Amino acid sequence: MSAAVGQAGTTRLSAIDSLRGLVIVIMALDHCRDYFVDYGYNATDLSQASWLLFLTRWITHFCAPVFVLLAGTSAWLHQRSAALDRPALQRFLVSRGLWIVLLEVTWNNLVWRFDLDGLQLQVLWALGWSMVFLAALLWLPRAAIIAIGAVIVLGHNSLDGIRAEDLGSEWSPAAIAWYLLHELHFGRLASGFEIGILYPLVPWIGVMALGYGLGALFEAPADARRRTLNRIGLALVAAFLLLRLGNLYGEPQAWVENPRGTLYTVLGWLNLTKYPPSLQYLLMTLGPALLVLAWLDRRDARGPAANSGIGARIIAVLTTFGRVPMAFYLLHVLLIHSASVAARYLLFGPAAFSAGAADSGLPSTYVPSLLPVYFAWFAVVATLYPVCRRFADYKRRNRHRRWLSYF
């Protein structure tokens, strides 16, 4: 659902698809790490994690912010390409957003857990509800939507001092509301049912609104569009450097000197809060992403004759994934989880028939290694490519089928 719209009509802007494809492929790396290797500590714990483990996790930080931003941009572009009035776009956003939320609490939760003893609210939860909130914001002018998005993104860290535990008991209505809006939480109900709220909504609503505001940029002449993307990207990077170097506003975790040496001090400088995403986290990820988007846009303008070789083939693969991101997302966790269960069973027997962490029955001689993670990542991407290519072709040939816009 990506298009560049001009006065003469609509054309698909493949740079958006390419960037979206890049981040969902990187996302699959993080999920392979979740299921194919067990460490007794967090991958971002720089008192223990190796630099390679940390960077394997860190590079995936770009995924959710870019995905949500481009979803907002795609809403603007969909409105223009389909010539929708405001009520029609609002209906589309609400229906698609609620559909994505339903997928989160049903299919996605099941394939992540392979059981029904808990519920995790992850990126689809934030994406779906952000679409619903964007639909409500459409009553306002575009400038007001951008301003609201900016206030949310810039200001939400000022709420960090408010804690759900100060608002009532763990599952009181006020505490639940705060978990949903602004505080990561894992807990269990009295029945033992586990609930994990990984993606509090407030910052993501702001990112979605800014993405919608960004959409108008893709109606500008190509050269002007790229210059603006570069300027915004550089401004975000500069703001991140200023705030992070000074340990200023916008990040709960201050960077300090790491006793393991300079390398780990630098990595600690990049170790930012994702749940919910801090201002500095969003600046660190969205700034470079916009620079990459401008580069991809410029590369597309050169045409096929100027873009050949292995780089062009890789970008073509990423573009295919980016045209059907929901299909990729819904299938890749099932594939990764299933493969990890099968691999553990074959290697370690019935006792390891689990995708959990260190208590999953793995033998005491088990030594974690990232090698199977990267191997599994390549295998998953290679397996899903022909599936996504065929589905993308089917969507292109059947644009009149409205249900396809929900995938």
pLDDT digits (tens, 9 = 90+) for 238-249: 999 999 999 999
- pLDDT at 355 (0 to 100): 44
State what percent of residues in the chain have pLDDT above 70. Answer: 93
The 3-class secondary structure across the chain, one letter per residue, is CCCEEECCEEECCHHHHHHHHHHHHHHHHHHHHHHHCCCCCCCCCCCCCCHHHHHHHHHHHHHHHHHHHHHHHHHHHHHHHCCCCHHHHHHHHHHHHHHHHHHHHHHHHHHHHCCCCEEEECHHHHHHHHHHHHHHHCCCCHHHHHHHHHHHHHHHHHHCCCCHHHCCCCCCHHHHHHHHHHCCEEEECCCCCEEEECCCCHHHHHHHHHHHHHHHHHHCCHHHHHHHHHHHHHHHHHHHHHHHHCCCCCCCCCCCCCCCCHHHHHHHHCCCCCCCCCHHHHHHHHHHHHHHHHHHHHHHHCCCCCCCCHHHHHHHHHHHHHHCHHHHHHHHHHHHHHHHHHHHHHHHCHHHCCCCCCCCCCCCCCCCCCHHHHHHHHHHHHHHHHHHHHHHHHHHHCCCCHHHHHC
pLDDT higher at 226 or 312: 226
Q: Is the pLDDT of residue 153 over 80?
A: yes
Q: So what's the pLDDT on residue 362?
A: 72
Residue with the two structure tokens 């223990």: 48
- Check whether 81 has a pLDDT greater than 70: yes
pLDDT exceeds cutoff 50 at 250: yes
- Is 354 exposed, middle or buried, given 0-12, 13-18 or 19+ CB atoms closer than 10 A? middle
Which residue did the predictor score with more confidence, 38 or 127?
127
Per-residue pLDDT, averaged over 156-160, amounts to 96
User: In 3D, which of 151, 301, 148 has the Cα closest to residue 224?
Assistant: 301
Give pLDDT, residue 5.
Answer: 39
Which region, left, alpha or beta, applies to residue 10 given φ > 0 means left and ψ of -120 to 50 means alpha?
A: beta
Which stretch of 146-155, 307-316, 338-347 has the lowest confidence by average pLDDT?
307-316
Residue 286 pLDDT > 70, yes or no?
yes
| Structure confidence by residue, pLDDT tens digits, 97-136 | 999 999 999 999 999 999 899 999 999 999 999 999 999 9
* Confidence at residue 3, expressed as pLDDT on a 0 to 100 scale: 38
Write the pLDDT tens digit of every residue in 326-382. 999 999 999 999 999 899 888 888 766 554 434 456 777 788 999 999 999 999 999
pLDDT band at 304 (very low <50, low <70, confident <90, very high): low
Render pLDDT for 160-174 as a digit per residue (tens, 0 to 9). 999 999 999 999 999
Q: Which of 70-74, 78-82, 141-145, 391-395 has the lowest mean pLDDT?
A: 78-82
Q: Average model confidence (pLDDT) for the chain?
A: 91
Instruction: Find the mean pLDDT for residues 272-279.
Output: 96
Kindly list the domain boundaries of the chain, sorted by start residue. 4-406
pLDDT interval class at 401 (50, 70, 90): confident
- 275 forms beta bridges with none
- For residue 4, the model assigns a pLDDT of 37
Cβ burial, residue 224 (10 Å; 0-12/13-18/19+): exposed
Q: Note if the pTM is more than 0.85.
A: yes
Q: Is the pLDDT of residue 312 over 60?
A: yes
Alpha-carbon distance of 204 to 156, in angstroms, equals 10
pLDDT at position 305: 52
Task: Read off the pLDDT of each residue in 21-47 and give the average, rounded to a whole number.
Answer: 94
Instruction: Give the integer Cα–Cα distance in Å for 154 and 253.
Output: 17
Q: With contact defined as beta carbons under 8 Å apart, do 163 and 177 qualify?
A: no
